[in-house]
Structure 1
Amino acid sequence: MKRALIPVLFLSAAVPAVAKTHKDAYTVSCATLWPAVKDTLKFSGKYGIIGISNEEMTASYNIGGNLTAKRTNTVLLNPAGTGCEMQVQTAFSGFVNNDANDFKTRVDASLAKLKAAQPAADAKPETASASPAPTPKN
């Protein structure tokens, strides 16, 4: 009986779950969150970009492929009061993969990185004192 049960359990773990939308609330605006989403997609090395719309703040991307099947996910941002809601639509969440949570973790890291870099970019150069220059004596 155990031999018949093991393949059934293995197959049930490999079958993808029904597509699901994961929603995460952020206290920053969508205009602030969108660069972190794009940074995650472009520079994490984990995603193959299918399409990005800056106007609608949506993106479709692939993930996986080596040991697990390649999966297509979509992210979109919706304003929510003074914050932003990030929705990740994923067709797979199984024993090995947690695509939506992994993506959120990477977006959070990108957001923190971009926020840390912002003060340096916003720093204003020091200006000279407002006192008049001394006049030369003849």
Structure 2
Amino acid sequence: MKISQLHHIAIICSNYEASKKFYTEVLGFTVVNEVYRKARQSYKLDLSLNGQYLIELFSFPDPPARPTTPEATGLRHIAFGVDDISAWVTFLQSRNITVEPIRIDEYTQKKFTFFRDPDQLPIELYEL
């Protein structure tokens, strides 16, 4: 038995329009499919990056807040590989997004940094 690939990451947001805008307009994801599920009062937005389906963005009425960051049990953060981390930091800051200082991974010597989505989910950028 073997897993073929990562299929998707599911994210529940508190403000659907703000998160949709963030993941599409800031991070550059493409909308694959968007549905409103009336019975659940929930949107489901399928997003791809460079043609690969990666994120399911959900909205639900009054979802509970994340307990702590980042060491709560469960998903710690999501990470995206980028070619030029400094350019990304400049871009995010131009969109009024707070970005942590760039650090160096002590094992790989690669640059990385963190910022947060509209619901404070930690997102890492890792320079390839």
**Higher CA-based Rg:** 1
More helix by share: 1
More strand by share: 2
Q: What TM-score results when the alignment is normalised by the length of structure 2? A: 0.36
Q: What TM-score results when the alignment is normalised by the length of structure 1? A: 0.34
